[in-house]
Amino acid sequence: MRASRALASALAPARPLSRAPRPASPRQAPPLRLPRRPDAISLSALPDAAVVAVLAPATAATAAALLSPALSLLELLFVVRIVLTWYPAVDGDKLPWAVVIKPTEPLLAPTRRVVPPLAGVDVSPVVWVAILSLLNEVLAGPQGVLILMSRAAP
C-alpha cells in the first residue's frame, strides 16, 4: 500500500512552484538602455568596452588600413630577429641589423624576463610573432573586428 502511494505520487504531475519575483539587489546595475540610432548614443552612458562599438565605418576602415601593415611589418621584423638568433656573431649596432634589432629590443627585453630561454634558445621573438599574428587577425583580418565594423551600415 505504501509502495503504491509512493508510486502514485512519483507519477503525478508536478505542481508548479509559485515564486514571487526577487527584488533587485542594491548592488545590481540597472539594465543598459540604448537608443536605436547609433548617432544618438552618449558615450558616457556606455560601458568602457562598448565605446569601441560606436566607431564610424569610415574610421574603422582607416584604422584597419593603418594597423594591418604596421602589425605585419613588426611581425616581419620579429621573424628576421628569429633568424638573427641563429647567428650570435652579428653586430647589432651596424646596419642593416640595427634596423631590425633597435625597434624590437624594447619589446623583447621584458619578454625575456617572463619567458626565459629554453635550452639556450631565446624564444621571446617567437612569442611576439604569435602575439602580433593574433592581433593582426583579430583586428584587421578578413573577419576582424575593424573590418566588420567598416562594413556596418551607417
Q: Report how many domains make up the chain.
A: 1
Q: Indicate whether 51 belongs to any domain.
A: no
pLDDT in tens, 35-67: 565 555 555 655 555 555 567 888 888 989 999
Q: Indicate whether 17 belongs to any domain.
A: no
Q: Indicate whether 21 belongs to any domain.
A: no
Q: Domain residues for 139? A: 57-150
* pTM of the complete model: 0.61
Query: DSSP for 62-112?
Result: HHHHHHHHHHHHHHHHHHHHHHHTT-TT--TTSTTHHHHHHHHHHHHHHHH
pLDDT in tens, 100-154: 889 999 999 999 999 888 888 888 999 999 999 999 999 988 888 888 888 876 6
Name the nearest CA neighbour of 60 among 129, 125, 144.
Answer: 144
Q: Indicate whether 48 belongs to any domain.
A: no
Q: Indicate whether 29 belongs to any domain.
A: no
Q: Indicate whether 33 belongs to any domain.
A: no
Q: Indicate whether 19 belongs to any domain.
A: no
pLDDT in tens, 72-95: 999 999 999 999 888 888 888 888
